[in-house]
């Protein structure tokens, strides 16, 4: 979906916009008290997304050190 936000920001500044998707609701945060099926998978999705961005942002013109 194109909201126009990226185009506006890019025209004003030299930035790379990243949006990380993650699981919500019971698929992302349900915990049933079972250690074999840990809760907070949504948080783990966010961590994995941030790691991916840091490893790959240079390919999109970003600086992984910033």
Please check the confidence at residue 6 and state whether its pLDDT lies above 80: no
d(CA 43, CA 50): 11
Dihedral Cα 6, 12, 13, 17, nearest 10 deg: -10
- Tell me: the pLDDT tens digits for 31-66? 888 888 888 999 999 999 999 999 999 998 888 888
> What's the rounded Cα separation, in Å, for the pair 39 and 15?
34
CA distance 47 to 5: 24
Residue 1 has pLDDT above 60, yes or no: no
Give the three-class secondary structure for 44: helix
- Per-residue pLDDT at 13 exceeds 80: no
At 2 the pLDDT is 62
- What pLDDT does 58 receive? 93
What are 31's two structure tokens?
């915990």
């Amino acid at each position: 979906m194109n909201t126009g936000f990226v185009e506006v920001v890019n025209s004003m500044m030299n930035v790379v916009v990243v949006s990380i998707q993650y699981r919500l609701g019971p698929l992302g945060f349900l915990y049933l008290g079972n250690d074999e099926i840990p809760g907070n998978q949504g948080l783990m999705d966010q961590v994995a997304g941030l790691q991916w961005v840091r490893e790959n942002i240079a390919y999109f013109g970003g600086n992984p050190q910033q």
